[in-house]
Amino acid sequence: MAHEPGCSRNITQRYHKVNKIYAAHAYDKEEILPNRIYIAPPDHHLLLEEGYVRVTHGPKENRFRPAVDPLFRSAAYTYGNRVIGVILSGALDDGTAGLWAVKHHSGIAVVQDPNDAEVSSMPENALEQVHVDYIAPVNEIGALLVRLSKEKLPEKTEVMNDEQTKKEIKVAKEDGALEVGLFQMGQLSPFTCPDCHGVMAKFTSGKLTRYRCHTGHAFSMDTLVAALTEKIEDNLYNAIRGIEESIMLLNHIGDHFAEINNPKLAALYFKKAQEAEARANMVRQTVLSHEKLSKDIMKQEAKEIENEIKI
């Protein structure tokens, strides 16, 4: 049952009575209450502000919306050392930048043991880039969170809420990256955005390097590599399509000239069609040998090379 404004208070009380936690898709500016799980609706980011949540349609981060990084970033910026960020099983490095923001604002970082994860990439990347407080198998994390939530918080340390984080949150709230001045804070890069082909700027936070285009799409280095190599395959198939269309047209024109008794011109068009077909085959072979790259794939190849050397 989704919680909407005006939802019966008796329903909420009944959930509390039987010691169940109320879980539903959040709605924009919904009040934050205890014993609630707020779930990001499909194709929307979930953000936190003082006392309530925001549900927005801001630019994708690491090709996803909802994405965990905007959520962690907004939570850290708003609630500081009251935040516990948890990274579980998953591919690539989603959540690493957000978990870094949690630690930067004196929060607690918890990561699932990579050996316990079905997909170890997200935990491994978080451990490489962030000073994590706790590493635990998934069946122990629930009890750990209960214990941490009952512990007395240390005196809140003053953390300078930097302008970059503030502006990144604004972009997730649907403000333009160019308009709020976020894009200008990065270092101009030679790369273009795989999603919109906009110019991209490079941003550095601690050991983390990320890229964001002027329309707001954000990528970690690993996600950018994966996205760009995927786009190469798409572009190569587009090239094959274009060449094959030209082959059909050249043959069609050749047939036309053959019909009107102009064999020399017809033969020239047929020859050009054969040459184009040879080029299409070359591009097709390139597609078949093309690799989609990511840090996981590179690590696996490095491990295989290391094993070969030992043998």
Tens digits of residue pLDDT in 145-200: 999 999 988 776 665 557 899 999 999 999 988 899 999 999 999 999 999 999 99
Strand partners, 87: 111
Please give the model's pTM, rounded to 2 decimal places: 0.80
Cα distance between residue 303 and residue 44, in whole Å: 38
What span, in angstroms and rounded, lies between the C-alpha atoms of 202 and 187? 5
Determine the average pLDDT of the residues in 122-128.
Answer: 95
The reported pLDDT for the residue numbered 298 is 76
| Cα 65 off chain centre by | 8
pLDDT tens for residues 41-55? Answer: 999 999 999 999 999
Residue 137: per-residue pLDDT: 97
The pLDDT score that the predictor gives to residue 167 is 95
pLDDT band (50, 70, 90) for residue 294: confident
Query: Residue 305: its pLDDT value, please?
Result: 75
CA distance 173 to 207: 26
Residues 15-29: tens digit of each pLDDT? 333 457 889 999 999
The DSSP string of 8-23 is -HHHHHHHHHTT--EE
Backbone angles phi, psi at 30, to 5 degrees: -75, 140
Q: DSSP class of residue 160?
A: -
Average pLDDT in the chain: 89
